[in-house]
Amino acid sequence: MQGLTGERTLMRIHLGERDKYQGRPLYEAIVHLLRARGFAGATVFRGIMGFGASAGVHTEKVLRLSLDLPIVVECVDTEERIQEILPELDRMIGGGLITLERARVIVYRPEQR
């Protein structure tokens, strides 16, 4: 992880919970792809409310439980590695949004005993 410290690129992939890729949840397929390509890590966040290109509001309110809540997959790596994986992600994502931004990474490790 020492090599991850410094200026890197944060990639956020915005999806819907119902989005699929080859029969399984798209966010799951993306995480497995990132792991297979040797990325340091990825995190999936499930939103409680949001809207996208369709302008339909998706919410987690008790009276109207949505089955298509917003999902965000985040990972951090070098700009080059992020650029290399974008064509694969493009083939997987039918509808969504990817944002890229510079991030300053500081890695903390548990004490070794």
pLDDT at 33: 98
pLDDT, one tens digit per residue, over 90-102 is 999 988 899 999 9
pLDDT at 109: 77
Q: What are phi and psi of 7, to 5 degrees?
A: -75, 125
pLDDT, one tens digit per residue, over 60-87 is 554 455 577 899 999 999 999 999 999 9
- Residue 109, both tokens: 């490790």
- Residue 95, both tokens: 């509808």
pLDDT at 63: 45
pLDDT at 110: 79
Domains of the chain by residue range: 2-45+71-105
Q: How far is CA 62 from CA 14, 47, 72, 110, in A?
A: 23, 15, 22, 40
Please, what CATH class does the domain formed by 2-45+71-105 belong to?
alpha beta
Name the pTM for this structure: 0.82
pLDDT at 50 over 90: no
